[in-house]
Amino acid sequence: MLTTRRQLLRITAAALGTAALPTAWPAPPCRPELKALLDGIANDLLTHLPELGPYNGVAAAQDGGPLARRMDDWSPAALDRYRGALQRAAQQLAHVDCGTNSEALQLATARAILADGTRTDAIRYGRPNPLWFSGHVPYVVTPVAGPHIDTINIMLVQQSLASPTALDAWVQKLEGLGAGFDAVRAKIVADEALGCRPPKALIRKTLPILEAFLRGEASAHPLIAALRVRSAAAGLDPKIRSAAEKRATQALDRVVRPAFARLRAQVAAMEARGRDEAGVWAQPDGEALYAANVRALGDTPLKPQDIHQLGLEEIRRITAEMDSLLRANGYSQGTVSQRYKALSAEGRFLFGEGDAGRSRALEFARELIKNAEARYPSILPRDLYPRATLEVRRTPEATQDGAPVGYCDRPSLDGKTPGVFWLNLRDMSAITRVSLPTLTYHEAVPGHFTAGGIELLAAERGLLVSISSFNAFNEGWALYSERLMAELGAYEHDPFGNLGRLNDELFRAVRLVVDTGMHHLRWSRERAIAFMSETAGSAASEVVAEIERYMAWPAQALGYKLGQLRLTELREALQRRLGARFDLPAFHRAVLAQGNLPLDLVASRVQALG
């Protein structure tokens, strides 16, 4: 049966028990040490996931702290210990009661985090991570993510080089990457012994990333260049910088690159044994892994088949809106996808090739952000305006082939590291004046960066909640933000930018179809690529990269549309209830002020408005 958008909210609320959540929390006695308990759990988990420390800017990763001195341990034994820590933490919280609104919300959020982390405990390949947006990843290294990308990017950007102690920690971590990536290789071997064989397409696309790390003189490597430039910018003593660079270059050449070469050889040897199937269903207990990720990353009790049908319904609705807008602007021949692709390729919408075109695109994004920030009074109460800074940068060329067209790293908890909107400029035909506005609103303002900046203002939140990531909340808010900007008049004089917004929303609806298609209905990679190419007006390079991303992160792509639909329904229900008393910034306060949350807890906060 076809699931409509309005039915979605009813089904979700009933299954999650949202309708039964009180508008004011009950008041049994609360253990006074709740914050200490949650912070202790967070600190314990961070010993197993140390790279979340510099990524989030937590205290133990600052100025050369212990979390800045090593990469995550991917060895099978270490991951067993990490899973045990998740189970112990869940048991610790099982009988805790809290009475005040704030404490009860913290406890409910912490329990949801740990439920997401322990749901796939019986599936030993890959790695669950409830503090990250991709849930339980089945494959350790892919062209999309993994330590060969994430560890390096954290060292390039997030990890501090602002003091001699921080510089020493950075180099010490680099020196440990040899053993660290040998542990990654051991994990890949162990996972294959468990029957996990990644799709051949992902293996094949991973090899160039590993090979790029091995090319060129060590002294010119991006890691060494980052050390050189960033430590100089911090004003460190030239002698200290020179000694650190020499030490780092030797470590890269003698220890790290040989380990990468061994990892590359292991991955290359696996290609012949890789699976032809695109979906995780083909892996051991793959259907159970997908169901768990749907629950965690989609934040929904809906079954994959219902989500698939919902995606088809949304495709029909959005396509009709695009057709109407195209016809109104003189484009009437061909399918919606064909007309959109042809329009996007027109010279008036392109930034041009080469460095000049890329600079124009980056500057255009910066101007869009400035204009969006000017609309904050219509979006947020003044006390929630983000205080963190935001930078717009190009995605590193070494990782751009497998990276999405744009993404945002949120500012660090201590405020020292700015948020960064990364724009992938590998294919300048995929970045246009039609598509860039909505991408910028999604990733930057009022999307991810805004939400992340507001999180920094929620000072009473404990560490565990502060470093958590609820995918449907995060991505749902960012997609909701795209439509919000249209409602606020951002496209009043830009019908083609609005067309780009609709195409991006269509893209997210297509995700519901192709993700469930591959992982539940057993579609091939090629069928998914063909469906997306025919339905969404996106560049071919973007479509292939996106489909392979969904292969690597089962169910992550569902959170966008499912989260947006839930937030939209919550707003519409509140508008119906309050009528003329409805206040949009107040609604956004209820959604955002406590940081990212499970959507049923967001619903309880919205229901308390009156």
* DSSP-derived secondary structure for 445-490: TTTHHHHHHHHTT-TTS-HHHHT---HHHHHHHHHHHHHHHHHTTT
pLDDT value of position 8: 52
Q: Which residue range is the domain that position 60 belongs to?
A: 31-198+200-274
Cis peptide bond N-terminal to 446, omega within 30? yes
pLDDT value of position 3: 44
pLDDT value of position 205: 96
pLDDT at residue 156 greater than cutoff 60 = yes
pLDDT value of position 99: 67
Shared domain for 178 and 315, answered yes or no, is no
Shared domain for 220 and 313, answered yes or no, is no
Shared domain for 436 and 507, answered yes or no, is yes
What distance in Å separates the CA atoms of residue 401 and residue 399, rounded to the nearest whole number?
Answer: 6
Residue 13 within any structural domain of the chain: no
Residue at which a domain ends, from 274, 307, 336: 274
What distance in Å separates the CA atoms of residue 125 and residue 286, rounded to the nearest whole number?
Answer: 10
What distance in Å separates the CA atoms of residue 342 and residue 537, rounded to the nearest whole number?
Answer: 9
Strand-pair partners of 420: 391, 409
Segment 79-101 mean pLDDT: 91
Condensed to tens digits (0 to 9), the pLDDT of residues 255-266 reads 999 999 999 999
What distance in Å separates the CA atoms of residue 53 and residue 65, rounded to the nearest whole number?
Answer: 9
Please list, in sequence order, all residues whose beta carbon lies within 8 angstroms of the beta carbon of residue 365, skipping any fewer than 6 positions away: 392, 421, 423, 436, 440, 444
**Structure letter (DSSP) for residue 391:** E
Segment 128-142 mean pLDDT: 97
What distance in Å separates the CA atoms of residue 186 and residue 180, rounded to the nearest whole number?
Answer: 10
Shared domain for 450 and 556, answered yes or no, is yes
Q: What is the mean pLDDT of the chain?
A: 92
Residue at which a domain ends, from 243, 274, 305: 274
Percent of the chain predicted with pLDDT > 70? 94
What distance in Å separates the CA atoms of residue 566 and residue 555, rounded to the nearest whole number?
Answer: 17
Shared domain for 364 and 422, answered yes or no, is yes
Ranking 10-14, 114-118, 211-215 by mean pLDDT, the lowest is 10-14
SS3 at position 73: coil
Segment 354-366 mean pLDDT: 97
Residue 389 within any structural domain of the chain: yes
Condensed to tens digits (0 to 9), the pLDDT of residues 546-572 reads 999 999 999 999 999 999 999 999 999
Cβ count near 536 (within 10 Å)? 27
pLDDT value of position 25: 37
pLDDT value of position 367: 98
Residue 362 within any structural domain of the chain: yes
Residue 152 within any structural domain of the chain: yes
pLDDT value of position 399: 74
Segment 148-177 mean pLDDT: 96
Condensed to tens digits (0 to 9), the pLDDT of residues 44-74 reads 999 999 999 999 989 999 999 999 999 999 9
* Confidence band, pLDDT 50/70/90 cuts, at residue 401: confident
Long-range CB contact pairs, 348-357, < 8 A, 24+ = 348/433, 349/432, 349/433, 349/434, 349/496, 350/428, 350/429, 350/432, 350/433, 351/428, 351/431, 351/432, 351/433, 352/428, 353/428, 357/428
Number of domain units in the chain: 2
pLDDT at residue 43 greater than cutoff 80 = yes
Residue 60 within any structural domain of the chain: yes
Strand-pair partners of 393: 422
The H helix count followed by the E strand count for the chain is: 26, 3
pLDDT value of position 459: 62
Shared domain for 522 and 397, answered yes or no, is yes
Shared domain for 350 and 391, answered yes or no, is yes
pLDDT value of position 410: 82
Residue at which a domain ends, from 213, 243, 274: 274
* Helices 448-455/584-592 angle, 10° precision: 70
Length of the chain counted residue by residue: 610
Condensed to tens digits (0 to 9), the pLDDT of residues 214-247 reads 999 999 999 999 999 999 999 999 999 999 999 9
pLDDT at residue 313 greater than cutoff 90 = yes
Segment 347-366 mean pLDDT: 97
pLDDT value of position 568: 98
* Confidence band, pLDDT 50/70/90 cuts, at residue 88: very high
What distance in Å separates the CA atoms of residue 432 and residue 346, rounded to the nearest whole number?
Answer: 9
pLDDT at residue 27 greater than cutoff 80 = no
Q: What is the value of pTM for the model shown?
A: 0.91
pLDDT value of position 539: 77
pLDDT value of position 30: 52
Ranking 4-13, 31-40, 392-401, 553-562 by mean pLDDT, the lowest is 4-13
pLDDT value of position 53: 96
Residue 305 within any structural domain of the chain: yes
Strand-pair partners of 137: 127
Shared domain for 521 and 556, answered yes or no, is yes
Percent of the chain predicted with pLDDT > 90? 85
Shared domain for 270 and 325, answered yes or no, is no
Shared domain for 327 and 261, answered yes or no, is no
What distance in Å separates the CA atoms of residue 171 and residue 22, rounded to the nearest whole number?
Answer: 51
pLDDT value of position 7: 52
Q: Which of 27-36, 272-281, 537-546 has the highest mean pLDDT?
A: 272-281
Condensed to tens digits (0 to 9), the pLDDT of residues 416-470 reads 789 999 999 999 988 999 999 999 999 999 999 999 999 888 766 789 998 998 9
pLDDT value of position 462: 83
Shared domain for 216 and 359, answered yes or no, is no
Q: Is 434 exposed, middle or buried (0-12, 13-18, 19+ CB in 10 A)?
A: buried
What single string gives the DSSP state of each residue in 125-163? SSB--TTSTT-SBS-SS-SS-SHHHHHHHIIIIIS--SS
Shared domain for 330 and 383, answered yes or no, is yes
pLDDT value of position 16: 42
Residue 285 within any structural domain of the chain: no
pLDDT value of position 212: 95
Residue 468 within any structural domain of the chain: yes
Please list, in sequence order, all residues whose beta carbon lies within 8 angstroms of the beta carbon of residue 41, skipping any fewer than 6 positions away: 89, 92, 93, 110, 114, 464
Q: For residue 292, what are its two tokens?
A: 């768990």
SS3 at position 419: strand
Segment 493-518 mean pLDDT: 97
pLDDT value of position 455: 87
Single-letter amino acid code for the residue at 481? S
